[in-house]
Copies of this chain bind each other. A is one copy, B any other.
Amino acid sequence: MAINKKDEFSPQEQELAALAKAMSHPARIAILKVLAGKNECICGEIVDLLPLAQSTVSQHLKELKDAGLISGSIDGPRSCYCINWEAFEAFNNGFNNLLNDLRKQKANQCC
């Protein structure tokens, strides 16, 4: 693509898209599910559970972290990741707002 046009959309559209993008790979959905299914924050256990190399998992974790969906802290030689609750609710709110707009039109569908 010659030029990146993403900047020409509204901040809300960009934010919602960025969060959706962070969840747009099955590996990252799987990581979120692993984090959701454990009482403790996981580090390298995720690598054992996924069919991916350690470096690849680390990269996916970084993307989730950059998007703000998870937070990570260094705990000695290992890293500890957790769900970032606020960001997750923010995505949910943004998505529900969109969904509510859609619902208004439900009766007027023509195709």
Contact with B along A14-43 (1 / 0, CB 8 A): 101110110111111110110111111100
* The one of B75, B98, B108 that contacts A33, using a Cβ cutoff of 8 Å: B98
Taken together, the copies of this chain in the complex come to 2
Cβ–Cβ contact A36 & B83, under 8 A: no
Given known A-B contacts A82-B110, A102-B88, A29 and B8 have beta carbons under 8 A apart:
no
Contact with B along A73-111 (1 / 0, CB 8 A): 101000011110100100010011011011011101111
In the assembled complex, which residues on chain B have CB atoms less than 8 Å from the CB atom of A29?
Answer: 9, 13, 16-17, 20, 98
In the assembled complex, which residues on chain B have CB atoms less than 8 Å from the CB atom of A72?
Answer: 111
Which secondary structure characterizes the binding site on chain A? helix
Cβ–Cβ contact A17 & B9, under 8 A: no
Task: Give chain A's interface residues, CB within 8 Å of chain B.
Answer: 5-6, 8-10, 13-14, 16-18, 20-21, 23-30, 32-33, 35-41, 51-52, 71-73, 75, 80-83, 85, 88, 92, 95-96, 98-99, 101-102, 104-106, 108-111
